[in-house]
Amino acid sequence: MRLTALDEVSERLGLKRGQGLAEARAMFPKIDVVDEDEAADRALLEAIADWCDRYTPLVALDGRDGLFLDITGCAHLFGGEHVLLKEVLGQLLHMGFDVRGAISSSPGLSWAACRFGRGGVIAEGPMGEVLAPLPVNALRIDGATIASLYKLGLKRIGDLLPLPRAPLARRFGKQLLLRLDQALGVNEEAISPRRPVAALSAERKLAEPIQAEDHILQLTGQIASSLKPGLEARGVGGLVFELVLFRVDGRVFRIAAGASRPLRDPCRISALFAERLTAIYDGIDAGYGFELLRLNVLQHDPFRTDQGDFTGEDEGKISLADFIDRASARLGADCLQVAELRQSHMPERAQIFVPAIAVQVAPEKTEEVFAFAPKADRPLRLFRHPELMEAFAAEVPDGPPQRFRWRCTVHKVIRAEGPERISPEWWVDKESAGERDYFRLESEVGRRFWIFRKGRYNPKNEPPTWHVHGIFA
């Protein structure tokens, strides 16, 4: 067992990361040791990354204890790079974290200056002068390469800069030169953000934190109004929206809501989150309040502009699409489902149910698409899995049964129609899958069933089995 992290007191005592626990206890028997919890450490780093979203949406994780923030085009919003860095480090220090940071024109240089240098804002200029006094460990290379460089006396980056590149590549590989070029800014290094960047977003920073649900919804409507010009300029409407609530103590809540067709209207967008907050508000701990609200458009589609009713009689009416949006926001996307056809002649594969909010249709065809009407020769209710039944007095070889037992009840057949033979799909089913002969039956009490016989009557083989696959209205 070895030490993986140290507090300030342990560092002053001379303990080192990677040191054996037995050796550390021999040196200081009273030290307090806590088992490492990688999941908790990762969750804490993710929470800090969420908090950093207030400065830029491009936040990436760097190992187990670091973050990369791409602040291109964002620094002026906070008063410049020096002010921004001071604010970020000061806020995290106020939360109880010992942090260091650096701002430069390349991620590699920022990483090196932050972890092995003094950090701060590195002005544009010769980067080699900043890197030269730093150890080769600052190049983010593997331990074996670092050990080899130390054996040759190349302990600092300044020792590598004047050397010919070809011998270095032959001896240590291309990775060393790649990291060196990235730190010098010769090769650009992309930062992969941990979250997808919103296509459009707007936010409101508050002078006084808010807690009440009504205040949150009111501000959401105002922020949605500021999004409308951007959506109109692009000719699109939002399909998936995300409301991000930044709490005073740094915790971040994300609430997503979707629509069945593109939206621009601030009232309708606010109504989506009204239903969503009604469902989950009890699970949101407002604490001392939220100081920043942001509304993101995560997904959008082209917006179709329709002529309104001149009489105004349609105002106030709730369309089916509006109902689907509000119900899905409150109860979840799977609460309302519609049937979609699939290319298959097997009944259980010919259609699947998908969330109604995921079906994109034109407004004038909404009622038509969502009105599900099965074929006349197919049951209204089709079982997910055919249920086994027991048939009596079935005509051989292809006749329907006269009576059958299903779910512990015996039904007497007075009318029958069939058979309709459906062969298995050899490219999906196994070759041993048998044919099905379907019948439509009506019992003496008026109930109608859709059954099938799997297999054929043959004295040499096992007798066929009968199944109930659905019932008619």
Q: pLDDT tens, 202-249?
A: 999 999 999 888 899 999 999 999 999 999 999 999 989 999 999 998
Which pLDDT value is given to residue 125?
74
Which pLDDT value is given to residue 316?
47
Which of 174-178, 186-190, 374-378 shows the lowest per-residue confidence on average (mean pLDDT)? 374-378
Alpha-carbon distances of 192 from 66, 109, 139, 197, 212, rounded to whole Å:
14, 17, 19, 10, 36
Which pLDDT value is given to residue 361?
54
Three-state SS string over 26-93 comes to HHCCCCCCCCCCHHHHHHHHHHHHHHHCCCCCCEEEECCCEEEECCCCCHHHHCCHHHHHHHHHHHHH
Calculate mean pLDDT across residues 291-298: 94
Supply the pTM of this predicted model: 0.71
Calculate mean pLDDT across residues 58-63: 92
Q: CB–CB of 464/453 below 8 Å?
A: yes
- Strand duo 102-103 + 120-121: pairing: parallel
Alpha-carbon distances of 125 from 130, 182, 208, 301, 332, rounded to whole Å:
9, 15, 42, 44, 54
Q: How many CB atoms lie within 10 A of CB 10?
A: 19
Mean pLDDT for the chain overall? 87
Q: What is the pLDDT of residues 394-415, one digit of tens each?
A: 888 889 999 999 999 999 999 9
Q: pLDDT band at 275, cuts 50/70/90? A: confident
